[in-house]
């Protein structure tokens, strides 16, 4: 479980996070939902420690990330896997080397063990046998899969995904969503997904946190969204569902 | 001034919480190969011609019949070893290696590859930059020694071909009053230049913000800044060690 409390983040005069708090539940897919520019990515970066919040705390199973010393931080970091918005694969390394990278850096495994583990993960994300391709030689959807394989290869307990299905066609997007959901349950991972995609909400969101203009306006389960009493959130849902209807009709 | 402060902090951060040394060995070897192979051709061409031009111009300037011809060989040797081989080669390498370092780190930054390393609890600055600096410190002196040999050889070919002096005179001149310290001076300069170029270019690339346009700017900035820094350092080292 990850808790965050009173997070503030300001860039110059731009107050992006205005004291947000929330709980991300263990073994579930938690969605951080909100329109463009509401500070979702900034929140995610504060959670994983890529950005230092001005104020507030992030607790990983009770361990405060930003108050930890370097060794403790490293220990927490090593339990974190992240899928970046643009996949962020190392473009000078092959698919296999990309997925093996965390093992090379963090584990003392033998070469053979590492290869077995990499092959297992590649197979899990549906990319068996693609070991020797370069990132530039595979499609965006495949890059996301490699990104997921790299994020879980070192047995991460926490998985963060920044807009995992942006830039993908709707069918591939659903496949990636399903993969994230399956992996979360299979390995009991605490997964956090940033998105503005209503399909994801209905498909994989166990828990939803809705943000607008740097504030959390609503928090609840997927089944509660239609009963939400927050006007902005209702507008967001219905605008998206209406869009979806239109798209489906065409 | 703020720039200088941030640069010094950056250099400091390379050595804090770094990974175990075994992680770096392969990286350093890769960087050495990259830098060496990348720059070999240009260094060979530039140094040979500079030696040749130096010999021809020195001969052209020596009109007095009282100065023996072999002095040309000696002058070429000293100019090449003291200044031309280390400094010109480094300026050329600042263009070639510096822009490559800044460009590749800049691209890794804007495509979040650096964040991807950082997220694993790895000191990304140290992991990416230290091997580049060490690689440069290993390979630059090799390239400069090669450049010195080729420069002196270029002078030999040009001097003899233009009948400015004979082969024997040139070889005698190259050996005449040879000061071994000058070679040490050349290598000290080169190591300093290697550090300056690799670290400034890394600094420039590592903190790129924005998109592809900014990566291009970071590359240009890296080359300009490291050239200026190299020439400044050249002057300071010469003052300290030769005067
Ligand atoms: N490193 C930064 N420096 C300065 N401002 C930043 C930085 N990162 C984000 N911001 C600002 O923070 C605000 C929120 O950005 P953020 O990337 O979190 O939006 P988002 O909710 O992820 O939107 P999107 O759905 O488009 O990705 C924006 O106004 C942005 O300009
Ligand atoms: Mg974003």
Whether B124 is in a domain gets the answer: yes
Cα torsion B31, B34, B35, B36 to 10°: value is: 120
Give the pLDDT band of residue A234 (cuts 50, 70, 90): confident
Burial of B150 (0-12, 13-18, 19+ CB in 10 A): buried
Whether B206 is in a domain gets the answer: yes
Chain B residues whose CB is inside 8 A of the A45 CB are 115
Tens-digit pLDDT profile for residues A195-230? 988 888 778 889 999 999 889 999 998 888 888 888
How far does the centroid of ligand 2 lie from the alpha carbon of residue A28, in Å?
A: 21
Tens-digit pLDDT profile for residues A5-52? 999 999 999 999 999 999 999 999 999 998 888 999 999 999 999 999
Q: Do B119 and A85 touch (CB under 8 A)?
A: no
Is A246 a residue whose pLDDT tops 80?
A: no
Number of domains in chain B: 1
Q: Is the Cα dihedral B93, B94, B95, B101 positive or negative? A: positive
Whether B133 is in a domain gets the answer: yes
pLDDT (mean) for A127-145: 94
Whether B55 is in a domain gets the answer: no
Can you list the domains of chain A with their CATH numbers? 2-79+157-249 (3.40.50.300), 93-155 (no CATH)
Q: What integer pLDDT is reported at residue B242 of this predicted model?
A: 84
Whether B162 is in a domain gets the answer: no
pLDDT (mean) for A84-110: 93
Binding site membership of A11 for ligand 1 (Cβ less than 6 Å): yes
Whether B104 is in a domain gets the answer: yes
Binding site membership of A45 for ligand 1 (Cβ less than 6 Å): no
Give the pLDDT band of residue A250 (cuts 50, 70, 90): low
Whether B226 is in a domain gets the answer: yes
Is A187 a residue whose pLDDT tops 70?
A: yes
How far does the centroid of ligand 1 lie from the alpha carbon of residue B5, in Å?
A: 27
Atom of ligand 1 nearest to the CA of A51: 1
Whether B220 is in a domain gets the answer: yes
Residue of A40, A5, A54, A25 lying closest to A212 (CA atoms): A40
Tens-digit pLDDT profile for residues B29-67? 999 999 999 899 999 999 999 999 999 999 998 878 888
Give the pLDDT band of residue B235 (cuts 50, 70, 90): very high
Q: Which residues surround ligand 2, an ion (CB under 5 A)?
A: A 41
pLDDT (mean) for A120-138: 94
Separation CA B193–CA B200 (nearest Å): 10
Paired strand residues for A219: A209
Domain interval for residue B110: 24-40+76-154+180-241
Mean pLDDT over the full length of chain A: 90
Is B186 a residue whose pLDDT tops 90?
A: yes
pLDDT (mean) for B89-113: 96
Separation CA A212–CA A38 (nearest Å): 5
Tens-digit pLDDT profile for residues B113-168? 999 999 998 999 999 999 999 999 999 999 999 999 999 999 999 999 998 889 99
Strand, coil or helix: B231: helix
Is A161 a residue whose pLDDT tops 70?
A: yes
Q: Which helix (H) or strand (E) holds A17?
A: strand A14-24
How far does the centroid of ligand 2 lie from the alpha carbon of residue B36, in Å?
A: 40
Which ligand approaches the C-alpha of residue A162 most closely?
2
Which ligand approaches the C-alpha of residue A40 most closely?
1
Top mutation candidate among A15, A17, A40 for ligand 1, by most atoms within 8 Å of CB: A40
């Amino acid at each position: 479980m990850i808790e965050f409390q009173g997070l503030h983040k300001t860039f110059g005069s731009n107050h992006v996070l205005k004291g947000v708090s929330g709980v991300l539940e263990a073994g579930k897919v938690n969605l951080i939902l909100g329109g463009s520019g509401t500070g979702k990515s900034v929140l995610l970066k504060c959670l994983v420690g890529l950005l230092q919040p001005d104020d507030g705390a992030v607790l990983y199973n009770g361990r405060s990330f930003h108050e930890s010393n370097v060794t403790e931080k490293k220990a927490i970091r090593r339990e974190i896997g992240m899928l970046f918005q643009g996949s962020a694969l190392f473009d000078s390394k092959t698919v296999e080397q990309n997925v093996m990278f965390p093992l090379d850096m963090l584990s003392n495994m033998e070469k053979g063990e590492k290869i077995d583990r990499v092959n297992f993960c590649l197979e899990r994300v549906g990319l068996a046998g693609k070991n020797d391709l370069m990132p530039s030689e595979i499609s965006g959807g495949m890059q996301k899969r490699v990104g997921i394989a790299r994020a879980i290869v070192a047995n991460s307990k926490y998985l963060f995904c920044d807009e995992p299905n942006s830039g993908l066609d709707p069918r591939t997007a659903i496949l990636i969503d399903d993969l994230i959901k399956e992996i979360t349950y299979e390995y009991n991972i605490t997964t956090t997904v940033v998105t503005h995609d209503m399909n994801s909400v209905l498909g994989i969101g166990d828990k939803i946190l809705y943000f607008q203009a740097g504030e959390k306006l609503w928090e609840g389960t997927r089944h509660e969204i239609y009963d939400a009493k927050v006007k902005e959130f209702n507008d967001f849902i219905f605008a998206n569902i209406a869009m979806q209807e239109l798209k489906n009709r065409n | 001034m703020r720039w200088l402060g941030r640069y010094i902090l950056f250099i400091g951060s390379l050595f804090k919480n770094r990974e175990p040394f075994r992680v770096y060995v392969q990286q350093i070897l890769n960087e050495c190969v990259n830098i060496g192979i990348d720059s070999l051709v240009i260094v060979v061409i530039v140094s040979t011609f500079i030696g040749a031009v130096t010999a021809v111009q020195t001969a052209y300037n020596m009109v007095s019949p009282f100065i023996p011809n072999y002095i040309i060989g000696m002058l070429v040797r000293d100019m090449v070893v003291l200044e031309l081989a280390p400094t010109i080669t480094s300026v050329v390498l600042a263009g070639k290696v510096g822009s490559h370092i800044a460009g590749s780190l800049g691209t890794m930054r804007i495509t979040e590859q650096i964040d991807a390393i950082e997220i694993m609890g790895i000191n990304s600055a140290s992991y990416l930059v230290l091997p580049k600096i060490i690689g440069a410190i290993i390979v630059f002196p090799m390239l400069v020694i090669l450049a010195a040999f080729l420069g002196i050889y270029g002078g030999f070919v040009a001097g003899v071909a233009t009948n400015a002096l004979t082969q024997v005179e040139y070889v005698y001149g190259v050996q005449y009053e040879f000061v071994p310290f000058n070679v040490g001076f050349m290598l000290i300069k080169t190591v300093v230049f290697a550090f300056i170029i690799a670290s400034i270019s890394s600094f420039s690339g590592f903190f790129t913000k924005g998109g592809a346009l900014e990566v291009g700017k970071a590359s240009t900035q890296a080359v300009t800044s490291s050239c200026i820094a190299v020439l400044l350092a050249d002057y300071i080292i010469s003052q300290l060690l030769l005067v």
